[in-house]
Structure 1
Amino acid sequence: MAKKRKKTAVSRRPNRRWRWLAVGIAVLLAGVALFSIRYESFASLYDAEYVGSETCGECHAPTYEAWDRSPHANMTRRPTAASVVGNFQDYEWALPTAARISATDTLPAARMYQQDGDYYMALRQPDSTEFVPFKVEYVIGYQYRQVYLTREPGGVLRRLPLQWSTELQDYFPYWNFQEQSTPYLHDLWAQMETANSAWNLFCARCHTTKLQILDANLEATVADVTWVDDGIACEACHGPGSHHVSYFESNYVNRVAAFVNGRLRDQPIAYIVNPIKQTKGEATSVCARCHGPDVQMSTMEIYRTYEPGYSAEGRVNDLSPYFQQLPLEPGRDSFTVEVYDDGDPKGIAMVFRSFVESECYIQDEVRCYDCHDPHNNKAERVPGILQPSEASNNYCLRCHQELESQLVEHTGHEPGTEGSFCYDCHMPKEILSLVTGVPRYTRTHLMSSMPDPENSVTFGLANAPNACTACHADQTPAWAVEQMVEMGLVE
């Protein structure tokens, strides 16, 4: 007799797996839809408050620490042993011989000293032996020069006329050096009466974060001014962060939503400006507001009201229509806005203008932060702003790959030698800076330009320098023209 087989129970697990899978897919789809709604909702909002850089540092610690060491972070500080670079050890500064026009001018013009933990700059009154002490309330900068501010009864932070040059290791009369004029003692005093010496009414907007002028008068003797952060802090470039903070702190779902939108959908992060996610003009506007003289000098109201982020109309501010407002006319418009006779930028404020004039900016997506790290804009103990890739052509070759195998033919120099790097010829040191008390030249950012010794022949080297004779100083512009003809670079 055949044995009966036992009936075995049919497993229901596969059905349960499919059920959970369906639920998971539904949740995922709902999540994607939810995240999409969240993204749309914060694209049009702009009523956030500033929270300060320390709040940003709670979540963005590595970036915050790098920024905290940078000149941006340490631009505006209270005077301490760590922040003051000038000599305040009972130091005396004398007028140069050409400025001594009275019997008392052989005496020191200024004395710098410390008293009860405070720092003072005392200026001698003209035609007198009496000194007037000014207590230093803030110091501005520290790398190339340092500015000293004193507070007046009306609230104005007045810029003192002598600044410290790190290169000279001495004080120098800043405005006289810019104007190449004689620093008479009465002129030093007069410099503290001009409107633009009221630092917190004029200069402070680019040296602080979220500056607000609550009260002022036309004479620039009254100033009720506040700001959120000393120096150029996170929100100076990323916009006000209160909604960004509350959005991420409210629940973990929002963090997942931000990850999905930011990493998978390449969308902006919630309620904050990230230049990488912006258009070229919008992203570059963050730098242009302070580094672009065209915006400041031709469109002052926009310069004063611009904030990175979403405007009241629901769009990101874009200053690019104002990047090239000033005419490039040969001559000196101000102490930092100057143009060579051949039309190339010369003054230190023209670095940004030279950048937006270049084909690299116009035709391509080259942006400031491709070469400059905004969170650590000048590495410690390394001169200049460029990252360590300065001693290579790697960045340029990302677009100009065809030149990598033709380097000698293209440059006329052996690889690794001066003249073989792209910036030697296309970014020569032609921009003049007088802000440190010593004339110094920095690289033009007119990257698409060719060395043009023909202009040097026409206008003279001083009025139209070229990269060739900058290195080959023993040769003439005419020789440089011949070399370029031989290389087939000009006809």
Structure 2
Amino acid sequence: MARVSRKLWIGLAVALVIVGTLVAFAVGYQSYDSLYDASYVGSAKCIECHTITGDAWQHSPHAKMIRPPTPESVVGDFDDHEWFVPARYRKTARDHEPIARMRHVAGRYYMEFRNPETWEFVPFEIAYVVGYQYRQAYVHLEKGGIYRRLPLQWSTSKNDFFPYWNFQEGSAPSAADFWMQIFRYRQNSSWNLFCARCHTTKLEVLDRDEEATRATTRWVETSIGCEACHGPGSHHVDYFATNYVNRIAAFVRSKVRGEPVAYIVNPRKMPKGEEVSVCARCHGPDIEREHTEVYREYEPGHSREGRINDLSTYVKSQPITPGRKDPTIEVWDDGRPKGLAMLLRSFVESKCWNEAHVRCYDCHDPHDNKSSVEPGMLVAGPVSDRYCTKCHSEIGATVEKHTKHKRNTSGAFCYDCHMPRILMNIVSGEVKWTRTHWMSTIPSPENTVRFGKDGAKNACNDCHDDQSAEWAVEWKQKWWPK
């Protein structure tokens, strides 16, 4: 009898909750517009509710992209460090003297560069440090409001400073060249007119002159905050703060029905083109070369004002010209992307994006952006193979027949052949190679034979770098004669 009564009470309680919820929905639920014009509230406001994702973000490179110089944020050597022109560029007696010095005094950090005419050191106080993982850049605030990117950056792998743009261009660094980078090539070194668009949240250039000597700029948040990807959040915050029923409704709509949440962008629930745009805006800089204003005005979300929220029609508009040498957007002689800034372009050229729906955050954690969504996803191995064989199940069942390599060994994993390291990454002052994301085709050794190893890399020699391209062609024809 007691057991029956207990079940009865539980049933009544559940019924009351259901009825109460339905009544609450009928009385208090507020629908919302798909088009709106919100303002920015800052990541701290987002974290008040989204504590778990907020904690992951706070420890991420996105959150730490821009910081004031402190002992914790500065990774370069500012303990009275001197920088000399590399030995291969020294031609005169002065070339054997330091042309830059780094120091800190009473909590302030300085880079000093030689004036090539007076040969005296001129100090530039550091306003912000940019990055910390692979390299760290340093910007100086000028009187006219320009944040000037200074010529030397710190390489974490080399554990030394290096001349970033000289290394990119293959040009000789010198005191005169550094001086010109600061005072003559102003457009290229004006951080808050260009680079900061991807290093901050909601950069606005309110006023500037053509010579890039004066500017008034502002941004909502230093570094890459929540709203850089999720769009302005004031309406989202207000919608949930004023009505608790809306929270229940949002949970049901999002978790049960898979629908977007009110007044905020969730890339996972956006149309394909809008979804990839969130990442493309900063990881597809070749877009900027062809459509500069579109690139600058992009903002996630849907507004009555009609903000630009879809870059997918532009991601392929810049021609992939074989043999292009422009720094960071280089192209191999066989027409494959080569420069690191072409990584997203290689992705959108792939059938995996065009014909299926592979997404950036299927593999990359969007909040802790240097982590994977699952351990092992970002390296060649069983975990990443499981992701690929969700679609390519027929290959997963016969891996050795498909790859001609023993299962679970190098050469037998999907990434080995379909994502070889052919993207040139020189941002740290050293030449390194990153995996292409053009997954639906395999870089062929025939093209290496045709264009040479400096004209076209291939998947086979990515592992077998002690063998020739001709050797790779021979084995390819033996194993896959078609």
Query: In percent, how many aligned pairs have the same letter?
Result: 54
Question: Does the 8 Å CA contact 1:90/1:111 hold for their aligned counterparts?
Answer: yes
Residue matched to 1:248? 240
Q: Does 1:125 align with 2:115?
A: yes
The CA deviation at 1:322 is 0.3
1:65 aligns with 2:55: yes
How far apart, CA to CA, are the structure 1 residues paired with 2:73 and 2:238? 34
Shift of 1:109: 0.6
Distance (Å, rounded) in 2 between the aligned partners of 1:450 and 1:143:
30
Shift of the alpha carbon at 1:32? Answer: 6.7
- Tell me the secondary structure at the aligned position of residue 190 of structure 1: helix
Map of 1:180 onto structure 2: 170
Q: C-alpha root-mean-square deviation of aligned residues, in Å?
A: 2.4
* Counterpart for residue 206 of structure 2: 214
Indicate the SS of the match to 2:397: helix
TM-superposed deviation, 1:203? 0.8
* Aligned residue in 2 for 1:137: 127
Contact 1:351 1:445 in 2 (8 A): yes
* CA pair 100-475 structure 1, distance change in 2 beyond 3 A: closer
Whole-angstrom CA distance in 1 between matches of 2:319 and 2:373: 28
For residue 21 of structure 1, report the CA deviation from its aligned partner: 7.6
- Alignment match, 1:448: 440
User: CA 1:161 to 1:316, structure 2 compared with 1: closer, same or farther past 3 Å?
Assistant: closer
Q: 1:242 to 1:467 in 2, by over 3 A?
A: same
Please report how far the alpha carbon of residue 314 of structure 1 lies from its aligned counterpart in structure 2 after TM superposition.
6.2
The secondary structure found in structure 2 opposite 1:331 is coil
Could you tell me how far 1:121 is from its partner in structure 2?
Answer: 0.5
Matched, 1:44 2:35: yes
Inter-partner Cα distance in structure 1 for 2:129 and 2:327? 22
* Counterpart residue number, 1:4: none
Letter in 1 for 2:376: P
CA contact (8 A) 2:298 2:310 kept: no
Q: How far 1:129 moved relative to its partner?
A: 3.8
**Native 8 Å contact 2:299 2:308 kept in 1:** no
Q: Is the 8 A contact 1:372 1:387 kept in 2?
A: no
Match of 2:25 among 18, 22, 31: 31
Greater Rg over alpha carbons, structure: 1
> Distance between the aligned counterparts of 1:24 and 1:423, measured in 2?
49
**After alignment, is 407-416 or 92-101 more displaced?**
92-101
Partner of 2:143: 153
Q: Match for residue 272 of structure 1?
A: 264
Alignment correspondent of 2:7: none
Task: Give the drift of 1:232.
Answer: 0.8
Cα offset, 1:263, TM superposition: 2.1
TM score, norm. by length of structure 1: 0.90
Amino acid at match of 2:345: R
Return the alpha-carbon distance in structure 2 between the equivalents of residues 249 and 311 of structure 1.
Answer: 21
> 1:115 matched to which residue of 2?
105
Q: 1:294 to 1:33 in 2, by over 3 A?
A: farther
Shift of 1:243: 0.8
Superposed CA deviations along residues 193-239 of structure 1, whole A, max 9, x for unmatched, are: 32121100111000000111122111111121111111111000000
SS in 2 for 1:376: coil
Q: Secondary structure at the match of 1:332?
A: coil
Structure 2 length-normalised TM: 0.92
1:291 corresponds to which residue?
A: 283
State the number of aligned residues: 466
Within a 5 Å distance, the mapping from 1:249-398 to structure 2 comes to: 249-312=241-304, 317-379=309-371, 387-389=375-377, 390=379, 391-392=381-382, 393-398=385-390
1:195-214 map, 5 Å: 195-214=187-206
User: Which amino acid in the other structure matches residue 133 of structure 2?
Assistant: Q
Relative to structure 2, which stretch is displaced further, 123-132 or 318-327? 123-132
TM-superposition CA deviations, 1:168-201 (whole Å, max 9, x none): 1111111111111111210111111321211001
Q: Which amino acid aligns with 2:22?
A: L
**Cα distance in 2 between the residues matched to 1:265 and 1:34:** 20
Taking a change above 3 Å as real, the CA distance of residues 149 and 479 of structure 1, as seen in their structure-2 partners, is same
Counterpart contact for 2:323–2:332, Cα < 8 Å = yes
Matched-pair contact (CA < 8 Å) for 2:24–2:245? no
In the alignment, which residue of structure 2 is the partner of 1:88? 78
Residue 7 (structure 1) aligns with:
none
In structure 2, what is the equivalent of residue 473 of structure 1? 465
Task: Write the distance in 1 (CA, Å) between the matches of 2:296 and 2:243.
Answer: 36
Shift in alpha-carbon separation, 1:23–1:377, aligned structure 2, 3 A: closer
Partner residue of 1:482? Answer: 474
Per the alignment, do residues 130 and 408 of structure 1 end up closer, same or farther by CA in structure 2, a change over 3 Å counting? Answer: same
Deviation at residue 101 of structure 1 after TM alignment: 4.3
**Partner SS state of residue 114, structure 1:** strand
Asked if the contact 1:377–1:385 (Cα under 8 Å) also holds between the matched residues in 2, the reply is: no
Partner amino acid for 1:456? T
Question: Which stretches in structure 1 are left out of the alignment for 5+ residues?
Answer: 1-16
Distance (whole Å) between structure 1 residues aligned to residue 39 and residue 410 of structure 2: 50
Conserved 8 A contact 2:112-2:121: yes
Per-residue deviation, residues 96-146 of structure 1 (Å, max 9, x unmatched): 234334443322111101111100111112154410011001000111111
- For the pair 1:231 / 2:219, whether they are aligned, the reply is no
Task: Give the whole-Å Cα distance in 1 for the aligned partners of 2:50 and 2:132.
Answer: 26
Structure-2 separation of matches of 1:386 and 1:121: 41
For 1:173, the aligned partner's letter is: P
CA apart distance, 1:311: 2.8
Do 1:154 and 1:222's aligned partners in 2 also have CA atoms closer than 8 Å?
Answer: yes
In the TM superposition, what is the alpha-carbon distance from 1:294 to its structure 2 partner? 3.3
Question: In the aligned structure 2, how far is the partner of 1:374 from the partner of 1:21?
Answer: 40
Whether the 8 Å contact between 1:236 and 1:308 is mirrored in structure 2 is yes
2:416 aligned with 1:424: yes
Are residues 181 and 259 of structure 1, via their aligned partners in 2, closer, same or farther at CA, if it must alter by over 3 Å?
same
SS in 1 for 2:232: coil
What is the alpha-carbon distance in structure 2 between the residues aligned to residue 331 and residue 84 of structure 1?
38
Q: Residues 102 and 127 of structure 1 are in contact (CA less than 8 Å); yes or no, is this contact kept in structure 2?
A: no
d(CA) in 1 for partners of 2:443 and 2:302? 41
How do residues 400-419 of structure 1 correspond to structure 2 at under 5 angstroms?
A: 400-419=392-411
2:313 match: secondary structure: helix
